[in-house]
Structure 1
Amino acid sequence: MGLSPWLLFLFSVLVQTSAILADTDPGDSAGLTAIAANWKNKPSNWNGDDPCRDKWIGIICTGNRVTSIRLSSFGLSGTLSGDIQTLTELVYLDLSYNKDLSGPLPSTIGSLSNLQNLILVGCSFSGEIPKELGQLSKLIFLSLNSNKFSGSIPASLGNLSKLYWFDLADNKLTGTLPIFDGTNPGLDNLTNTKHFHFGINQLSGTIPREIFSSKMKLIHLLLDNNNFSGSIPPTLGLLNPLEVLRFDNNPQLGGPVPSNINNLTKLAELHLENCKLTGPLPDLTGMSALSFVDMSNNSFNASDAPNWFTTLPSLTSLFLENLQIGGQLPQALFSLPAVQTLRLRGNRFNGTLTIGSDFSTQLQLIDLQNNQISAITVGGSQYSKTLILVGNPICVPGSTDNYCVAPGHSNPTAAPYSTARNCSAVPTPCLSNQLLSPACICAVPYRGTLFFRSPSFSDLSSPSNFVPLEQDMKTKFAKLNVPVDSIAIHEPFFDSNNNLQMSLELFPSGKVQFSEQDISDVGFILSNQTYKPPAMFGPYYFIGQQYSFANDLLVPSTSKKTNRLPLIIGASAGGAVLAAAVVAIVVCIARRKRTPKRTEDRSQSFVSWDMKSTSASTVPQLRGARMFSFDELRKITNNFSEANDIGNGGYGKVYRGTLPSGQLVAVKRSEQGSLQGSLEFRTEIELLSRVHHKNVVSLVGFCLDQDEQILVYEYVPNGTLKESLTGKSGVRLDWRRRLRVVLGAAKGVAYLHELADPPIVHRDIKSSNVLLDERLNAKVSDFGLSKPLGEDGRGQVTTQVKGTMGYLDPEYYMTQQLTEKSDVYSFGVLMLEVVTARKPLERNRYIVREVKAAVDRSKDMYGLHELVDPVLGAAPSALAGLEQFVDLALRCVEEAGADRPSMGEVVGEIERMVKMAGGGPGHESASESMSYASRTPRHPYGGDSPFDYSGGGMPSTRVEPK
């Protein structure tokens, strides 16, 4: 219905009046208010409805329009609202280092036509990267690294012709690198982009030759730690500006290295380690800028030491391990002026090792373990740094020479670097939330971790490598007028991804604590790459910690609207009434926009649980779960030593520990930036302290001491089912053992569905969440996403979709209706994974679709010979029950949940298959199997030992009361 002329007139007056009373565009004000409604821990002065005039922290305006949002390290939690589309003049959006910002990235962000920088480093955003980002034609800086994005790289991003920085590293991306196909754009269109940072994902397929051309300006090409296959395309040699190249840790990347690689004369860092590269060892002659070379653990043809060894004047680090290189090492290699580290173990170097008297003063390590060296000559002054010749003929039994002693005995590594604090006397101890700065001042530092993706040096013991970084960073912060007094870095080490990682502390200047505006500025300088480190450190990224602001230092939140009182009084009475009306309209619109979606109900058992307190009054007494102090766990893990490190994931690391009673435990320590938040932590404690079953991992206890989130489980020694299927754990599972593992996992899930009170939906059933104990019994683990159903034991709940792509129930995904049948679908995918040993989702191939398309029930093994894991063999007699197993799996992955069996039915059917496969005498009777469907609470769920299938004990199935 149209507006009357009077209403149109009234509306125009309202708009004009609002322009007098407020500096901020009404649309921007309403949009920001709606966005803020989805967040917790907003800046202190985000009050009122006039962000520009009131100078909201982190908000920068041009005129009356919001053009910049900079809120890194504020501890924001929640989701990014689709109302972001209202900020049509936005140029910068930086929400980095807010690890509790999660959920999908709204597609409406693609309507921000003026956006130049989109920076979301170190959050927990998930789902697919919206293809609508390809509409941001002005985008220069796209940094989405260190989140949980999944799916493939949208081809539409090839439209971003102005893009300079492109960082998607450290996510869960799959699929291939998109290229122009005649219709859709691809990454080969990005000729102006200088940075391709795609490492630490699950990208796969071949690296297309079309992706590289002489027109490209790439200086950093990081494709490490993925699943690329095929060979390195020869077009790589066309990237003349390239300075850093990382293809390392792609275990299926093979073939020869292109012979024209030495065209890359500006290349400083070359990483090709841990692939399947073949052919001759690459000729690096003429690559005079090379400082760091690692080609270890490949399958190059056996050869003698190449001539280029001694022709690289900038070389600091040469890593060529396990490559079968032979001959005598040239003496000139040790005299290269910058050389620091030579790691050449596992080769065939022979003859006399001649280091000479003119070896480089920088040379810290010569590692020649397991070669064929028979003699050594060191001229002039004795080489006194670390030389390792263990495993060579020169080291005869009983030799006492230092170089014949295994590392870690008489050749300890140097102490880790830490910024010096030369404080002879400190007047008073620092307060608990303060640290002593290098300038000997107690203050609250801004802390985080620097990750250097390809430094040009390898010696971590020398201050000369780190002091320049400290001085350079301090100088540049001063030039940018940021109040940083001093800088401390410490604990540098190379992590499992070959990144140099170090802790960073920035101390405020002229005050005890940074202000909120300071943190907004400092965070942006680091996330936006405004700060550039010395060239020797290479590309980096930073993950900041949440900064705690003292109440007396907060920016006053008093509204400045009182300053406008004379203007308001001066307005006519009618204008005042109209102004009130426009405020009412804006507030009404804003409230509608900011009404948050209904979130998941939190467990009532934890409503009053203060996660930062360990007092008995705030932590519920959970039966069966012990509360540990942090010092206790530090002691049983030997101070969380690397020797006790048995795994890691998005939450942090897992350490092996031994309790005073002698019980082995697994200690899962959540780290800063963890993908497991407080809700997941509490969920896992609550559920695991209530459920007890031999096929569900047991929770021994937890720790909330000293702001830590730590879970302590029973120790399960044989890794995950996924590691067994991929061969990583060394545990080989034949068909019978796989059936029994699947049966055990099915019993664990059936217990959750049918005997837990209320029933529990696991919500993340997958092979990496099935652990194998010392007898290969399966134990279901990781309950951070689990969800109790209604008290009636049946039905469904409406909840935010969570789970792992590839295993996720499509019905749940489409409807957000979670039922027990969602777990059944995931379990069906796991069953197909057990048969094929293939990832559920890889190279745009979905295992469910692959099996459904290949099944031919008129043939033996249903015609699945090409899909069945070759480790199992191809003889039908060795795979008894395979057809029934596949039938059951396909019933589990029916599109409609109503067409899927219950987990109790799954258990019964797998038991029959175990018998067909020859489970041995004495396994469970048919009557026992039927009890799964009848929900008999006395059923023991026991008797699935892989070696003695004779029943065994009767573990408790009783659920502890809340």
Structure 2
Amino acid sequence: MLQNSSELCYLEMSKTKLCVFLGCFLLSSALVGAQSPITHPDEVSALRTIKRSLTDPNKNLTSWNRGDPCTSNWTGVLCFHTTLDDGYLHVRELQLLSMNLSGTLSPALGRLSRLLILDFMWNKIRGSIPKEIGNITTLELLLLNGNQLTGSLPDELGYLPNLNRIQIDENNISGPMPTSFSNLKNAKHFHMNNNSISGQIPPELSKLPNLVHFLLDNNNLSGYLPQELAQMPNLAIIQLDNNNFDGASIPRSFGNIPTLLKLSLRNCNLQGSIPDLSRIPNLHYLDLSSNKLGGPIPANKLSENITTIDLSNNNFTGSIPINFSSLPHLQNLLLANNSLNGSISSSLWQNRALNAIESLTLDLENNLLVNISGSFDLPSNVTLWLKGNPVCSNGSLVQFCKSQIENETRISTTTNSTIVECKPQSCPYEYSPTSLLDCFCAEPLLVGFRLKSPSFSDFIPYKKMFEGYLTQGLSLSVYQLHMYSFAWQEGPRLGMYLKLYPIYDNTTNSHLFNPSEVQRIKSIFTGWRIPLDGIFGPYELINFTLSDVYKDEFSSSLSASISKGTLIGIILGTFAGVVMLSAIISLILFTRHLRGYHSISKQRQASRSLLKIDGVKSFTYGELALATNNFDVFTQIGQGGYGKVYRGTLANGTIVAVKRAQQGSLQGEKEFLTEIQLLSRLHHRNLVSLVGYCDEEGEQMLVYEYMSNGTLRDHLSGKPLSSRNPK
């Protein structure tokens, strides 16, 4: 029973103030929870573990030491823009291309459960590929090429249902290819060249319905070539050069792959004859050189699209098929070091003068060819090599029978930057050589790019086509691209150095890409979103370089790039926080006034024994002192006008937050117990639950469920997670 009406009035007012306070807290917590999401705690922990396993000499990952991965713009960490079904943000991409990282790949990568792209290309990572990556069922691109990885391929990678591309080339991977890879039904790209993968190619790979590029050159593969590979309905490139297939033959079924664009089996210790490949309608590139193939070269006509036929360094006999004369796009016909005999027909080159753009190299050295039938006059775009044939006894053919000089133009081509003549003027950047505007001064994006298995030998005829293909894929104008240089590399692969220029905007007088455009262009490269083109084959990004002016602008833009929803949430959350603070101040002032009407009870046990609330425990002072190491300063996680908050561990191992009132903030016994009753009835996903209380020895303490992601004020102020939860 209350003593008088005055006490009743004050108690009712106390309840009202408490409800105002709790209402404001609920509103602000809901706003923060809805509008200021954070990264899933398990992914934050995983990223920190991943960083600890890496060596970062260039300090590229220093941003990983502060804030939240998704809201503080950690380098290389890209997140979904909205929360997913669990209310958290999740990491979408891990883009750590060309950062000079070493160390190892942590098994914690497998905890990035919503990841789509995992990119560690062109670093110095050692160790093995963690099998835990097989846990990321959402993964689409696995990009680990250009490192120093060892060990075998984990079977677990074969159970990634959404994997589109696996690139592990240019490492030191050994062991067999797992048969589990036959489960990768969505895979289009197997890029595993330049490793030490051994054993037989699993015939089960024929079950892959979408595989387009099969690149395993420069490994230690052996056994036979499975004829079942021909059953893959979309296979465009088979590149298996420099393996050892133990004298096996080329399966006849390879002549029945209607989608095949390139067949490259150079130096594979193959024997037997060439199967009939005339039924492949769009074959562009055939390299069967440096094997032990023999017999006559099939006379059936190959695809008119073919650019390269390399059958050199084998045991072929008979004459040169006359059908080679009617291949309009042929660039290389390489038949050296065989036992071919008979005449050389001038029809191989006589129509080439009509197509001056297309060059043709005929390497027929070291055969048994005795004469040329027809004209000896070669068009300027045709090169003929005949040394080592009986035909060279004819003195009039001496120009074709000299020793080949190291012909750099055949293996390497480089174009120099166009020199733009402009009137002297101030240009802090550089003049675009391709702009429609004369002397347009702008800062380009620098891109290292490589075609991994192109279906031609001479790039010049395809250069303009490539520029149109690339700019269309990037949604740029052709004149924004300048191909600064290109060169053939071992493989053969075609490396190139590109410059991308912005469009002049006369309204802003801009000479730079804006940050969103930089991000858009980069994401197209890193997400492999440029559509496939058969003749250019698969591509890879070597580097994407931002000059200092872009780094400064890009960084400042990222720091300011807050979505409208998040910005509104922060504003509303801050407003709610101000309201809440006002309520707290009012409550403190009121309780101090109320203290004049009540004395602190020294005998609270009787009243407390009347309070029986399910799920709310009455703790002794000793229990909470033990849980907080006697309220040690190192367990303190917060402080306000009411008192201090400590992180504690109960005897059963439960982690809690203990809110301890300071002496000047103590309430009356009944008010304190009423507050406990009210708090025990509040249940909301954005409010922590009340676990218990302590009301003895002159102490008033509330024990809450521990909130691992910090307080409301922490979220409003942007306080880093690392400083919210001291261990």
Stretch moving more, 405-414 or 281-290 = 405-414
Query: CA, structure 1 residues 484+65, in 2 after alignment: closer, same or farther (shift >3 Å)?
Result: farther
1:65 correspondence with 2:83? yes
1:326 to 295, 317, 331: 317
C-alpha contact (below 8 Å) 1:478/1:484 kept by paired residues:
no
| 1:624-639 equivalence runs, <5 A | none
Cα-Cα RMSD? 4.1
C-alpha contact (below 8 Å) 2:370/2:391 kept by paired residues:
yes
Q: Deviations over 1:827-856 (max 9, x none)?
A: xxxxxxxxxxxxxxxxxxxxxxxxxxxxxx
Q: Distance in 2 between the 1:114 and 1:426 partners?
A: 54
The DSSP-based 3-state class of the residue aligned with 2:149 is: strand
Which residue is equivalent to 1:590?
Answer: 722
Q: Distance in 2 between the 1:410 and 1:400 partners?
A: 20
Offset, 1:489: 1.9
2:37 to 25, 32, 44: 25
Query: CA, structure 1 residues 258+34, in 2 after alignment: closer, same or farther (shift >3 Å)?
Result: closer
| 1:644-723 equivalence runs, <5 A | none
Instruction: Give 2:37's aligned amino acid.
Output: D
Which residue is equivalent to 2:464?
Answer: 467
Query: CA, structure 1 residues 44+130, in 2 after alignment: closer, same or farther (shift >3 Å)?
Result: closer
The DSSP-based 3-state class of the residue aligned with 2:281 is: coil
1:389 correspondence with 2:386? yes
Offset, 1:53: 6.6
Offset, 1:208: 2.5
Offset, 1:150: 1.7
Query: CA, structure 1 residues 586+568, in 2 after alignment: closer, same or farther (shift >3 Å)?
Result: closer
Q: Distance in 2 between the 1:585 and 1:441 partners?
A: 44
Which residue is equivalent to 2:400?
Answer: 403
Which residue is equivalent to 1:137?
Answer: 137
The DSSP-based 3-state class of the residue aligned with 1:293 is: strand
Offset, 1:49: 3.9
Instruction: Give 1:540's aligned amino acid.
Output: Y
Q: Distance in 2 between the 1:168 and 1:354 partners?
A: 46
Offset, 1:122: 2.5
Offset, 1:370: 1.3
Q: Deviations over 1:281-331 (max 9, x none)?
A: 33323122211000000112x3122223x3332211001111121222133
1:297 correspondence with 2:271? no
**Percent of pairs with identical residues:** 27
The DSSP-based 3-state class of the residue aligned with 2:230 is: helix
Q: Distance in 2 between the 1:87 and 1:177 partners?
A: 39
What stretches of structure 2 of length at least 5 have no aligned partner? 1-20, 505-509, 586-639, 646-710
Query: CA, structure 1 residues 398+545, in 2 after alignment: closer, same or farther (shift >3 Å)?
Result: farther
Which residue is equivalent to 2:449?
Answer: 450
The DSSP-based 3-state class of the residue aligned with 1:175 is: strand
Which residue is equivalent to 1:198?
Answer: 192
Q: Distance in 2 between the 1:372 and 1:274 partners?
A: 23
Offset, 1:392: 1.5
C-alpha contact (below 8 Å) 2:24/2:580 kept by paired residues:
no
Q: Distance in 2 between the 1:594 and 1:31 partners?
A: 19
Offset, 1:333: 0.6
Count of matched residue pairs:
553
Instruction: Give 1:288's aligned amino acid.
Output: P
Which residue is equivalent to 1:159?
Answer: 159
User: Structure 1 length as normaliser, TM-score?
Assistant: 0.51
Which residue is equivalent to 2:578?
Answer: 569
Q: Deviations over 1:228-255 (max 9, x none)?
A: 1112122222223211101111145541
The DSSP-based 3-state class of the residue aligned with 2:125 is: strand
Offset, 1:58: 6.8
Stretch moving more, 317-326 or 495-504 = 495-504
Q: Distance in 1 between the 2:724 and 2:289 partners?
A: 59
C-alpha contact (below 8 Å) 1:418/1:488 kept by paired residues:
no
Which residue is equivalent to 2:367?
Answer: 371
| 1:276-675 equivalence runs, <5 A | 276-300=269-293, 302-308=294-300, 310-356=301-347, 359-360=351-352, 361=355, 362-379=358-375, 382-384=378-380, 385-396=382-393, 401-408=398-405, 416=413, 418=415, 421=418, 423-428=420-425, 431=428, 434=430, 436-439=432-435, 440-460=439-459, 462=460, 464-478=461-475, 486-510=480-504, 511-514=510-513, 517-532=516-531, 534-550=533-549, 553-556=553-556, 566-573=575-582, 577=640, 579=711, 582=714, 589-591=721-723
Q: Distance in 2 between the 1:87 and 1:390 partners?
A: 74
C-alpha contact (below 8 Å) 1:268/1:291 kept by paired residues:
yes
Stretch moving more, 491-500 or 217-226 = 491-500
Offset, 1:541: 0.9
Q: Distance in 2 between the 1:422 and 1:434 partners?
A: 11
The DSSP-based 3-state class of the residue aligned with 1:541 is: strand
Offset, 1:573: 4.0
Q: Deviations over 1:452-481 (max 9, x none)?
A: 122111113x2x3111211232233236xx
C-alpha contact (below 8 Å) 1:17/1:575 kept by paired residues:
no
Q: Distance in 2 between the 1:575 and 1:392 partners?
A: 100
Query: CA, structure 1 residues 337+507, in 2 after alignment: closer, same or farther (shift >3 Å)?
Result: same
Instruction: Give 2:113's aligned amino acid.
Output: S
Q: Distance in 1 between the 2:244 and 2:726 partners?
A: 47
1:256 correspondence with 2:268? no
C-alpha contact (below 8 Å) 1:488/1:506 kept by paired residues:
yes
Query: CA, structure 1 residues 444+157, in 2 after alignment: closer, same or farther (shift >3 Å)?
Result: same
RCO comparison, higher one (Cα < 8 Å, 6+): 2
Offset, 1:189: 1.6
The DSSP-based 3-state class of the residue aligned with 2:499 is: strand
Q: Deviations over 1:129-175 (max 9, x none)?
A: 11112222232332222232221111011211232222222222110
Q: Distance in 1 between the 2:513 and 2:84 partners?
A: 24
Q: Distance in 2 between the 1:587 and 1:441 partners?
A: 45
Offset, 1:589: 4.8
Q: Distance in 2 between the 1:450 and 1:400 partners?
A: 42
Q: Distance in 2 between the 1:312 and 1:471 partners?
A: 25
2:264 to 256, 260, 271: 271
| 1:95-114 equivalence runs, <5 A | 95-114=95-114
Offset, 1:45: 9.5
Offset, 1:93: 0.9
The DSSP-based 3-state class of the residue aligned with 2:556 is: coil
Query: CA, structure 1 residues 568+56, in 2 after alignment: closer, same or farther (shift >3 Å)?
Result: farther
Instruction: Give 2:362's aligned amino acid.
Output: I
Offset, 1:594: 11
Query: CA, structure 1 residues 454+582, in 2 after alignment: closer, same or farther (shift >3 Å)?
Result: closer
Instruction: Give 1:139's aligned amino acid.
Output: L
C-alpha contact (below 8 Å) 1:51/1:59 kept by paired residues:
yes
C-alpha contact (below 8 Å) 2:169/2:194 kept by paired residues:
yes
Q: Deviations over 1:513-568 (max 9, x none)?
A: 44555443322211211112543101111111442332763553777899675554
C-alpha contact (below 8 Å) 1:303/1:324 kept by paired residues:
yes
Q: Distance in 1 between the 2:81 and 2:386 partners?
A: 69
Query: CA, structure 1 residues 363+138, in 2 after alignment: closer, same or farther (shift >3 Å)?
Result: same
1:229 correspondence with 2:222? yes
Which residue is equivalent to 1:702?
Answer: none
Q: Distance in 2 between the 1:421 and 1:313 partners?
A: 35
Q: Deviations over 1:326-345 (max 9, x none)?
A: 22213331221221111111
Query: CA, structure 1 residues 512+253, in 2 after alignment: closer, same or farther (shift >3 Å)?
Result: farther
User: Structure 2 length as normaliser, TM-score?
Assistant: 0.67
Q: Distance in 2 between the 1:411 and 1:151 partners?
A: 37
Query: CA, structure 1 residues 29+167, in 2 after alignment: closer, same or farther (shift >3 Å)?
Result: same
Q: Distance in 1 between the 2:463 and 2:457 partners?
A: 12
Offset, 1:109: 2.4
Q: Distance in 1 between the 2:424 and 2:726 partners?
A: 51
The DSSP-based 3-state class of the residue aligned with 1:508 is: coil
